[in-house]
């Protein structure tokens, strides 16, 4: 149950990539009131990973079943 003075401040999306070798994290946070939960934001995060990871390394992604991860453009990446 919510109290009478409860105010919902929206939701956020946090995309994160963890390098198990170095322990480093690449992350991007999207606030719900500024961005929508769309594949465009996720593709921007994938570009961030591309820029940060050397091209000669193989990259393995583990994703949940969120619809954003299943779009044709994301699958093409």
Confirm whether 6 is domain-assigned.
Answer: no
pLDDT in tens, 24-60: 999 988 776 555 668 888 899 999 999 999 999 888 8
Determine the Cα–Cα distance for residues 46 and 27; give it in Å rounded to an integer.
10
Reference 44, options 30, 56, 54; nearest CA is: 30
Domain count for the chain, please give it: 1
Q: Which residues of 10-27 are buried (b: 16+ CB within 10 A; e: fewer)?
A: eeebebebeeeeeeeeee
Residue 22: domain span: 12-76
Confirm whether 44 is domain-assigned.
Answer: yes
Which residues share a beta bridge with 14?
29
Confirm whether 70 is domain-assigned.
Answer: yes
Confirm whether 4 is domain-assigned.
Answer: no
pLDDT in tens, 56-77: 988 888 888 888 889 999 999 8
Task: Report pTM.
Answer: 0.73
């Amino acid at each position: 149950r919510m109290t009478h003075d409860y105010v919902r401040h929206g939701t956020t999306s946090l995309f994160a990539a963890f390098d198990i070798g170095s322990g480093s994290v690449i992350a991007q946070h999207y606030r719900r009131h500024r961005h929508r939960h769309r594949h465009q934001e996720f593709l921007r995060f994938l570009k961030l990973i591309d820029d940060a990871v050397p091209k000669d390394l193989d990259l393995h992604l583990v994703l949940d079943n969120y619809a954003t991860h299943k779009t044709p453009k994301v699958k093409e990446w």
